[in-house]
Amino acid sequence: MIRYILSLRWVTLVAALGAAVGAMLMFFEGCLKLAYALEMVVQPSADTETLVIATVMQATDAFLFGLVLIVFAYAITFGFAFSLPSSVRAKAPLWMRVEGLGEIKITLIQVVLVYLVVDFVTDVVEMGTRVTWEMLVKPAAIVLIAGALRLLGSALEDDQPADFEKLRRTSETTQQPDENRSLTHP
């Protein structure tokens, strides 16, 4: 029974494959948007000046989301399906070392925040000077989500057992010289 339950971890590879395919799609979409922006630069019209800025921002957002999906695919593959030796894991770049599901969730929230900011700025650029008070809903949502993320991050920092271990080791290190001194000087 336990063997069957442990074999279900291979199902996570479907999620990792989906994230990798999604990343490739986002890179493709980013390339298409950049090509469209380049076309607007090469063949300008009356209102393409602000559209170029908005299109490049959207392309950058697509590339960023694609990069995050690659990190998700890596984290799911080597965090849930396969177990990497610590020597190999240490060689991976810091941004690809995901410690658990909580870190993946926080990264997703951060990406959503970046997407919302880029979407809002793109809306403002496209509308020009016709900004209405209804447009403040999105920045308010961004501030609320960022505040929740900040609170969540500070709560997670308080629960880290590694900090407790570091403090314990530090206190043992500071106590050792006193113990050595008491052994040499009665």
Tokens representing residue 183 in the block: 């052994």
pLDDT at residue number 79: 77
Contacts of 162 (CB under 8 A, 6+ apart): none
Average pLDDT for residues 83-87, to the nearest whole number?
A: 80
pLDDT at 181 over 50: no
pLDDT at 27 over 90: yes
H, E, C per residue of 122-174: HHHHHHCCCCCHHHHHHHHHHHHHHHHHHHHHHHHHHCCHHHHHHHHHHHHHH
pLDDT at residue number 99: 75
Report which of residues 95 and 109 the model is more confident about: 109
Report which of residues 184 and 62 the model is more confident about: 62
Average pLDDT, rounded, for the chain: 77
- Domain spans in the chain, listed from the N-terminal domain onward: 2-99
Average pLDDT for residues 50-67, to the nearest whole number?
A: 85
Which band of pLDDT confidence, cut at 50, 70 and 90, is reported for residue 157?
Answer: low
pLDDT at residue number 46: 66
Measured distance CA(71)–CA(92) in Å, rounded: 11
Measured distance CA(112)–CA(118) in Å, rounded: 10
- Summarised one tens digit per residue, pLDDT across range 130-155 is 767 778 888 899 999 999 888 887 66
